[in-house]
A = this chain, B = another copy of it.
Amino acid sequence: MKYELLHTNKNTMARHGMVECNGYKYKTPMFMPVGTKATVKTLSVEELYDMHCGIILANTYHLWLRPGEDVIAKAGGLHKFMNYKGLILTDSGGFQVFSLAKNKKKDITDEGVYFKSHIDGQKLLLTPEKSIMIQNKLGSDIAMSFDECPPASASYEYLKNSVERTIKWAIRGKQVHNNKKQALFGIVQGGAYPDLRKYSAIETVKIGFDGYAIGGVANDGESKDDMYKAIDYSVAYLPQDKVRYLMGVGDPIDIIEGVIRGVDIFDCVLPTRIARHGQCFTRHGKINLHNQKFKEDFTPIEHDCDCYTCRNYTKSYLRHLIMSDETLGGRLLSIHNIRFLIRLTEELAEAIDNDNILKYRDNFIKNYRTK
Contact = CB atoms under 8 A, between A and B. Distances in A.
Interface in A16-69: 37-39, 41-44, 62, 66-67
B317 A75 contact: yes
A74 B296 contact: yes
Contact of A82 (B41, B44, B317): B317
A41 B326 contact: yes
Nearest to A40: B328
B71 A295 contact: yes
A324 B71 contact: no
Interface string A295-317: 11010000000000000111011
B67 A328 contact: no
A327 interface: yes
Given A295-B67, A327-B327, A81 B41 contact: no
A143 B331 CA distance: 30
Q: Mostly helix, strand, loop or mixed at chain A's interface?
A: loop
A5 interface: no
Contacts of A43: 328
A323 interface: yes
A327 B74 contact: no
B39 A326 contact: yes
Contacts of A326: 37, 39, 41
A298 B62 CA distance: 20
* Residues of A in contact with B, size category: 35 or more
A321 interface: yes
A43 B296 CA distance: 23
Given A74-B298, A328-B44, A67 B323 contact: yes
Contacts of A38: 317, 320
B328 A81 contact: no
A320 B67 contact: yes
A291 interface: no
A153 interface: no
Contacts of A313: 83
A76 B314 CA distance: 12
Given A75-B298, A328-B44, A37 B81 contact: no
A250 B74 CA distance: 36
A37 B320 contact: yes
A239 to B, nearest CB: 38
A314 B39 CA distance: 14
B324 A37 contact: yes
Given A41-B326, A67-B320, 20 more contacts: A37-B320, A37-B324, A38-B317, A39-B321, A39-B326, A39-B328, A42-B327, A42-B328, A42-B331, A44-B328, A62-B324, A66-B324, A67-B316, A67-B319, A71-B296, A71-B320, A74-B298, A75-B317, A81-B314, A83-B317
15 contacts: A37-B324, A37-B326, A38-B317, A41-B327, A41-B328, A42-B331, A66-B320, A66-B323, A66-B324, A67-B316, A67-B323, A71-B295, A74-B298, A81-B320, A327-B330
Interface of A: 37-39, 41-44, 62, 66-67, 71, 74-76, 81-83, 295-296, 298, 312-314, 316-317, 319-321, 323-324, 326-328, 330-331
4 closest residue pairs by CB, A with B: A67-B320, A327-B327, A37-B324, A39-B328
